[in-house]
Amino acid sequence: MTRQRLRYTRGMFSYPYPRPALTADVVAVRPGTEAIEVLLIRRGHDPFVGMWALPGGFVEEWESPEGAARREFAEETGAAWRGELRLVGVFGNRGRDPRGWTVACAYLAQMDEQDVELELAPADDASEAAWFPARALPPMAFDHQEIVAAALEIV
């Protein structure tokens, strides 16, 4: 007896449940001269234009959350990270994004001494990228303070 393979097409199934948008963010940390440093980008677009944030963005339909994290990190900082990404957590509290219900998968990129000299060239929707001491971070967009705090607990 042969098994038939089912072919699913878009629209074949529908669900009455609302669906959130999915984003992926990267908390990149490195050893600094006095303390751990965190890489942030300055947002070039609304919402929160001009504020500091983690590199990240929306997961495309065809990619995994980790793949989106790597892509967004490269697009917004100009530096590709090929090292390990560790899942920090999933963040989806109500009101975290003024555009609507958005859930973020946050990843940790823990860099060592050989990685600390990444050439930064912000692009895409980032107008600037810079390293900040983890103990003296500027106010951040979305709930990125909470995400960084969670990442620093596992460093």
pLDDT tens track for 86-104: 999 999 999 999 999 999 9
Residues classed as catalytic = 128
Half-sphere exposure of 126 (CA within 13 A, CB side): 26
pLDDT over 70 percentage in the chain: 90
Q: pTM for the whole thing?
A: 0.89
**Residue ranges of domains in the chain, CATH in brackets:** 28-154 (3.90.79.10)
pLDDT for 124? 86
- Cis ω before 47 (30° cut-off from 0): yes
Among 33-37, 126-130, 151-155, where is mean pLDDT lowest?
33-37
Across 7-16, 103-112, 128-137, least confident range: 7-16
**Which tops the pLDDT comparison, 18 or 145?**
145
Q: Average pLDDT, stretch 11-29? A: 89
Max mean pLDDT among 48-57, 73-82, 110-119 falls in 48-57
Predicted confidence at residue 141, as pLDDT, reads 98
